[in-house]
Chains A and B, each alone.
Chain A
C-alpha cells in the first residue's frame, strides 16, 4: 500500500512539500488542516496542482473528506484508477 515509489504518492508529497515550502516533515499521518495550516481554498488550490500533474479532476466532496496526507494519496489513487 505505502510503496514510496508509487508515482501518485510521489506527486502528492512533492506538491505538498512545494506548497508548504518544506516547513513541515510530511508523513501519511500528517493532518492537512491542523498541521499544515492550510485553509479550505489553499487546500483546493494545491489539489489543483496535483490534478494537473496526474490529469484527473477531483470533485470537491472528495476533497472535503480528506484529513491526512494518506487520505489524499488514497483518493488520488482511486480517481486515477477510474480515469
Chain B
C-alpha cells in the first residue's frame, strides 16, 4: 500500500520530534536538570516511527533502555515525558522512573526497561493476552542486537512461534552493544536469520528508511492479526551518539563509520523524498520544525513549573491498593 502524503508528513514530524526532544534532553542532562542516565535514539528514529505507524492505539509495544523514541512514536505526551526526566511529580512515573523507565499504559507503551532483554518476555505476555482476548490486537517487542544474544529473546520467540502469538520482534541492530561490536558477539551477521530456527519469517530492513520499515511492519502486523504468528524484523541502523550521554565515555567506534552513517540520516532522507515529490516545501519543513521546537519548549516549561514529589511519596506505590 502506498502511504498518503499526510501519513508520511506525520511520520516525518514524529521522527523530528524524537530528535529534537533528545537534543534538548541531552543539553538539560549536561546542565544538571536531568539526572542519572540518558540514552539517545538519535539516528535510529525510523525504526520506532516506521513500526508504530503500522499499529493501532490499542496495540502494545515494549521498549528498551533507549526508550524515548518508542514513547514518542507511540504517541506519548512530551510534557509528561520531560517532567519524568526532570524527576517531577507530574511525570509519567511520578518521578520514580526517569529516562530509562518511561511507560504510558494508556497508549499501549508498556515501558522502557533497564534490563537488556528484560522486556521481551513481558511483551510476549501482552501478545498472549491479545490472543486470549481475540480482538486482533498485536504486540511489538523492540530490542537491540545485544539483547538478541540473551536467553529471554530465544525463549520468548520460541513460545510465540509455537503458540502463534500476534507478535512483532523488532531488532534494532545498531552494530554495537555499549562498547562491544555485534560482530564480536553474534555468530551470524543477520539476527533475522535466526527466525528460520523458530520457523517464522525473518526480514532484514534498512532501518534508516522509514518507509521500508513501515512496509515490513505492515506485513508483519497483517500476519499477526490473521493469527499466523510472529515475525522477526531486523532493522539495520546506527546510533549517532555515545552509548549514554555521560560525558567522557570511551567510544570504540571509528569516526569515519559514524560519519558514514550520519550521511544516511533517516529524517533528511524522508524530508528530501517528500520535497522531491512536491509534497513538502522548504518553508513547510522549517515551519514543522519550529512547531516541534515550540512543543518541546512547552514541555520543558511544564517540567520546570512542576513540583518535585513530596518525600512521603517515596513510600507510595510499593503495592497496589
Is A bound to B? no
Which residues of A does B touch, CB under 8 Å? none
Which residues of B does A touch, CB under 8 Å? none
